[in-house]
């Protein structure tokens, strides 16, 4: 339906997650098929079309992403499916297509596998809060096996801090549904899944009440007036003549919002979710760096010190083979659009002196440059461009 968009219609971003070959692409195709059968304005997208996803350059990295659009009675969906495991990881870490909710596929023939865990973990780190589970390949599994896989999946969700008890779990077969089979695990299972998605994943709402925050994607100078920074307002409302701070990379600069532009038109205010250009009075362009942000004056601070939870990826998840020592580990930390060298000082439980791959721990983070980070903000740590740890800020330290 992506070609027939009514802009006022609510939209929800979803995607298929799960271990390779568990049926993500088959299910994506089946969803469009089932919907297209009933709603002639929606288009069926075949397996081959999805699996030949075009290469996209997102945030400087190459990712294969298929964007599929469809519509239910409740709302419109933008659905992402990535052909390769590495593409999923890159998509989630870079936030290239942020998901409001996700469909976690677990094939009954395999149960929970390493990539099931890894996708779930990364989804958690990037703030995906809602999941619906589809236990796939029910056409070739016994009832008891389906139930065991459900128990295992619910436990996994609970382990990661999700509501594993109440999350909807649907048994079905993407392959039967794609073939138009009308038995229990065919088309009806996909309809059940769509109902669960409609009801369990809320339509995202914008935060208009918190203090104004604008991460900077781009900047250009307006001679004689200052610098325009461009980005999408993350939260709050920006008003003309508002006092603001420009934060990041050791800088905390006072400024004033002297003009706001939306689609090249000057406006007096703009709200969360809007892509804006804001003119910062008296700021020279050479002071702006991608990864800085503009916020309401005194509403945020930048710090070099944070406390965080980190999870060290195991080698089967593409992480390190060797454990991490408690102090002195230095590698670049990536968050939103920036990266800065950081040092970790692990707060290991008593009786342990190393963090093993596959384990998590509380740690102190020291950033080489002071950066504004919020509680709940996710980041990754990479060695030679490979993700070895994911983490989340739990405390801002002075
Ligand atoms: P992906 O890697 O997760 O995208 O998995 P695919 O959608 O490419 O599916 C992998 C393989 O599993 C393909 O051969 C599919 O035909 C098969 N498959 C997918 N869904 C089902 C199902 O419900 N039942 C059975 N028996 N096979 C399935
Ligand atoms: Mg696939």
Residue of higher predicted confidence among 128 and 138: 138
Backbone φ and ψ of 269, nearest 5° = -155, 160
**Spacing, Cα 68 to ligand 1 middle (Å):** 18
**Widest distance between CA atoms in the chain:** 73
Atom of ligand 1 nearest to the CA of 176: 23
Q: Would the CB of 84 count as within 6 Å of ligand 1?
A: no
When mean pLDDT is compared over 6-15, 34-43, 88-97, 147-156, the highest value belongs to 147-156
d(CA 236, CA 323): 42
Distance 24 CA to ligand 2 centre (A): 5
| Atom from ligand 1 closest to the CA of residue 81 | 4
Residues marked active site are found at: 21, 24-25, 85
Q: How far apart are CA 373 and CA 292, in angstroms?
A: 11
Q: Could you tell me if the CB of 116 is within 6 A of ligand 1?
A: no
Q: Which sign does the torsion angle of CA 204, 209, 210, 214 carry?
A: positive
Res. 2: pLDDT tops 50? no
Q: Is the CB of 20 under 6 A from ligand 1?
A: yes
174 neighbors 107 (Cβ within 8 angstroms): no
Would you say the CB of residue 23 lies under 6 angstroms from ligand 1? yes
Q: What is the pLDDT of residue 97?
A: 67
Eight-state DSSP code of residue 162: S
Computed over every residue of the chain, the mean pLDDT equals 89
Burial environment of residue 248 by CB neighbours within 10 A (0 to 12, 13 to 18, 19 or more): buried
- DSSP structure string for 99-130: -SEEEEEEETTT-S-HHHHHHHHHHHHTT--E
Residue 58 pLDDT more than 70?
no
Instruction: Please compute the mean of the pLDDT values over residues 161-187 and round it to a whole number.
Output: 97
Interval between CA 75 and ligand 2 midpoint (Å): 25
Q: Which residue has the higher pLDDT, 6 or 26?
A: 26
With a 6 A CB cut-off, is 272 part of the ligand 1 pocket?
Answer: no
pLDDT at position 204 over 70: yes
For the cut 60, the answer to whether the pLDDT of residue 104 exceeds it is yes
- Evaluate: CB of 26 within 6 angstroms of ligand 1: yes
Considering the entire predicted model, what is its pTM?
0.71
Measure the CA–CA gap between 252 and 255, rounded to whole angstroms.
10
Give the residue from 31, 12, 182, 179 showing the smallest Cα distance to 105: 31
pLDDT, tens only, 274-289: 889 999 999 999 999 8
Neighbouring C-beta atoms of residue 371, cutoff 10 Å: 26
- pLDDT of 123 above 80: yes
Ligand lying nearest the CA atom of residue 139 = 1
Strand partners, 170: 134
Burial of 205 (0-12, 13-18, 19+ CB in 10 A): exposed
At 223 the three-state DSSP class reads coil
Residue the block writes with tokens 């809060």? 129
Mean pLDDT, residues 71-98 taken together: 80
Under DSSP, the state recorded for 285 is G
Pocket test for ligand 1, best of 16, 26, 103 (most atoms within 8 A of CB): 26
Q: What is the pLDDT of residue 96?
A: 58
Beta-strand relationship, 130-136 and 169-171: parallel
Q: What is the DSSP letter of 83?
A: S
Confidence grade of residue 93 (pLDDT, cut at 50, 70, 90):
low
* DSSP-assigned states of every residue in 258-295: EEEEETTEEESEEETT-EEEEEEET--GGG--BTBEEE
- pLDDT(135) > 70: yes
98 token code pair: 């942020």
pLDDT category at 369 given cuts 50, 70, 90 is: very high
How many A from CA of 22 to the centre of ligand 1? 6
State in Å: Cα 20 to ligand 2 middle.
Answer: 7
């Amino acid at each position: 339906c992506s070609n027939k968009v009514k802009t006022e219609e609510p939209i929800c971003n979803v995607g298929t997650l799960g271990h390779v070959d568990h049926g993500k692409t088959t299910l994506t195709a089946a969803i469009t098929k089932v919907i297209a059968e009933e709603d002639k304005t929606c288009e069926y997208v075949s397996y081959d079309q999805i699996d030949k996803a075009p290469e996209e350059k997102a945030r400087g990295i190459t990712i294969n992403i298929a964007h599929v659009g469809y519509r239910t009675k409740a709302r419109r969906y933008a659905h992402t499916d990535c052909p390769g495991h590495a593409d999923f990881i890159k998509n989630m870490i870079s936030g290239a297509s942020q998901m409001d909710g996700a469909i976690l596929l677990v094939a009954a023939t395999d149960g929970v596998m390493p990539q099931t865990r890894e996708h779930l973990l990364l989804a958690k780190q990037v703030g995906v809060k809602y999941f619906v589970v589809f236990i796939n390949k029910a056409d070739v599994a016994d009832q008891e096996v389906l139930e065991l896989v459900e128990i295992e999946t619910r436990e996994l969700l609970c382990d990661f801090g999700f509501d594993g008890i109440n999350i909807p779990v649907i048994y079905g077969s993407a392959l039967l549904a794609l073939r138009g089979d009308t038995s229990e695990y065919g088309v009806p299972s996909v309809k059940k899944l769509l109902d669960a998605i409609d009801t369990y994943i809320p339509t995202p709402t914008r935060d208009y009440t918190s203090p104004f925050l604008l991460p900077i994607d781009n900047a250009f100078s307006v001679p004689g007036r200052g610098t325009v920074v461009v980005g999408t307002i993350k939260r709050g409302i920006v008003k003309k003549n508002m006092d603001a701070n420009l934060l990041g990379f050791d800088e905390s600069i006072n400024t004033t919002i002297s003009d706001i532009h939306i689609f090249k038109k000057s406006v007096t205010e703009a709200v969360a979710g809007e892509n804006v250009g804001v003119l910062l009075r008296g700021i020279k362009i050479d002071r702006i760096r991608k990864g800085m942000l503009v916020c309401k004056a005194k509403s945020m601070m930048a710090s070099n010190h944070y406390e965080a939870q980190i999870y060290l990826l195991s080698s089967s998840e593409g992480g390190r083979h060797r454990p991490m020592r408690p102090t002195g580990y230095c590698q670049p930390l990536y968050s939103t659009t920036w990266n800065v060298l950081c040092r970790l000082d692990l707060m290991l439980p008593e009786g342990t002196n190393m963090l093993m791959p596959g384990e998590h721990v509380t740690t102190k983070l020291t950033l080489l440059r002071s950066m504004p980070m919020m509680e709940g903000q996710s980041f990754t740590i990479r060695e030679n461009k490979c993700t070895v740890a994911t983490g989340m800020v739990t405390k801002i330290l002075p």
